[in-house]
Amino acid sequence: MLQFCANLGFLWPNLALLDRIAAAGAAGFKTVEFHWPYGVPATQLRHACEQAGVRAIGLNTSAGDTHAGEFGLGALPGREVDFSADIDRAISYARRIGAGSIHVMAGIVPQADKRRAEEQLATNLSLAAERAPDLTLLLEPINRRDRPGYLYSTVEKAAAMIERVGAPNLGILFDVYHVGVAQGDVLRRLEQHLPLIGHVQIAAVPSRAEPDEGEIAYGAVFAALERLGYRGYIGCEYRPRSDTNAGLRWLKTLGVSL
């Protein structure tokens, strides 16, 4: 049976974070994931999850200085000290809330600096993997329409980085939305990279709304995940068209349940 997770970076956007947790539990979700929850003390967030009857499963490292055009620190040469502090904070927070995975954000780099950035990311990932052997560190290819200049936009590039580092606790965050926008051929890529996939996320292409519209046949995606024996979580990382609760009708439309 497929397991769906509420991404509280996007769902219930009009609520404060702790209230989003309560809303997710009331809607029937059993697990939640976060973008950057660090403004809320980990003890408060964990308590809110316990009260709502949900379990936290993942979060992101920092996006860095987004006003300066950053979107992650992992691959930025010269920011090693900042990344070290950032990953330590993420590891500590994840452990305190009981989450098992961290999306390590690589960042945006100029084309001329790509080789140096890849070397930097490999070094940083190796150190991070050693510091957190109990956690899964995820690499997410992000399409360049949404984030021009992000270090990698293809599943193959993420897989190559994982192979390069060679740590057993690295995995791919396979966001069907990003793969659909950047590459297509989603089902074949799911099958090809399944052994490395640690987490899946979903949203409509091209709108990034609920997955019952657009170019991706999510019924086929869900059937493929079942057939392939995927046992991880599917993060609902979409931007609701309007009311989040009303939008959950997509579950019934696509023949799945929480």
Determine which one of 33, 118, 210, 237 is catalytic.
Answer: 237
Give per-residue burial for 130-169: e unless 16+ CB within 10 Å, then b.
Answer: eebeebbbbbbbbbbeeeeebbbbbbeebbebbeebebeb
Determine which one of 140, 163, 210, 226 is catalytic.
Answer: 140
E-strand ranges in the chain read 3-7, 31-33, 55-60, 101-103, 136-139, 170-175, 197-202, 233-236
**140 assigned to active site:** yes
How does DSSP classify residue 106? B
Rounded to whole angstroms, the Cα distance separating 160 from 5 reads 27
**237 assigned to active site:** yes
Identify any residues that bridge with 59 across adjacent strands, giving them in sequence order. 102
Write out the catalytic residue numbers: 140, 237
